[in-house]
A and B are shown apart, each in its own frame.
Chain A
């Protein structure tokens, strides 16, 4: 849950990028980090293996500006995508305010997407969350690759009733990256407002 500090007049929200291994979660964060002005970001932390696979998490702190006199900060985290890092994924979901599910559009990763989305639901449930009740958005990444599956096939499986906001992206070039982040951030703030009534 977001934390609010009245003394520092700050509100901090935790956003988590989830998805199967090599789907582009870290690439999303790297692009955001590179394109954000110096004064609006802290240091990026990557806890990765020697082959640059995420071992525990990547972290980017952002300061977006003020709402009603409160500095609005977003802490972005990725989880390690590989199946056997499930214990670590659970830990990073602690206190999450919103999730970006990054799906890999490549045909051979179709099943991995479904498995990862199920895993997200299950891990949230263990922490007392319900994916249907927390803010989340879908990103179809790697749309530029020749082996990308047709969009409607992905939608049918991952967002069958079209209720979740979705974005086509190519994180390596930055396409769709900020659109995804902004809409999740908006949903999270709107959710805070709802919860505050």
Chain B
């Protein structure tokens, strides 16, 4: 397994991602859409977010994907790219995008699994294009071709200040 490049989202990337997520909420009649890095970090969100602890959601979704990915390998599959959890009121549909990003759709009986599947397919293509570009840029930066990061300028003092009680 090779190292994952650092995920760096510029403002334009984030805007495009959120636009796709918003469109998916509308098109699929969903309650909410989340994008989570496999590391467990939230990348984007749209829809009715009230009352949802998005940080916990991201970490648990990533844990879920990691566990079922491990299970897939045990039985000779590479990964299970689609997951569906059915609840009494709300359901969760999970797919992998660009091998690294987890697309989570939460929906209730205003929508249906078929509709969500259909719309996720299209949104997944748009998201793949965006993330492929983001990861290509990250790789180029790793190779020293990109612009320098603002963190090059962090001083030891900045770091110490963070921990000043």
A residues with CB within 8 A of B: 1-8, 11-12, 14, 42-43, 45, 47, 56-57, 59, 61, 64-68, 70, 72, 75, 77, 87-88, 90-92, 94-95, 126-129, 182, 185-186, 189-190, 192-193, 195-197
Contact = CB atoms under 8 A, between A and B. Distances in A.
A2 B69 CA distance: 22
B143 interface: no
A8 B4 CA distance: 22
Interface stretch (B10-18, B87-95, B123-131): B10-18
B145 interface: no
B11 A2 contact: no
Contacts of A94: 4, 38-39, 66
Interface string B53-71: 1011001100100110110
Given A1-B4, A1-B5, A43-B56, A91 B39 contact: no
The majority secondary structure among interface residues of chain A is mixed
8 contacts: A3-B7, A3-B8, A3-B43, A4-B6, A43-B56, A59-B56, A77-B40, A90-B70
Interface of B: 1-11, 13-15, 37-41, 43, 53, 55-56, 59-60, 63, 66-67, 69-70, 148-154, 156, 158-163
A192 B159 CA distance: 11
Nearest to A63: B55
A186 B163 contact: yes
A92 B60 CA distance: 11
A90 B74 CA distance: 14
Given A4-B8, A43-B56, A72-B162, A128 B1 contact: yes
A6 B6 CA distance: 13
Given A4-B149, A7-B15, A65-B162, A127 B3 contact: yes
A47 B63 contact: yes
Contacts of B1: 126-128
A57 B67 CA distance: 11
Contacts of A3: 6-9, 37, 39, 41, 43
Contacts of B38: 94-95
A28 B55 CA distance: 20
Given A65-B162, A68-B153, A12 B41 contact: yes
B56 A1 contact: no
Given A72-B162, A87-B70, A127-B3, A6 B151 contact: no
A67 B56 CA distance: 24
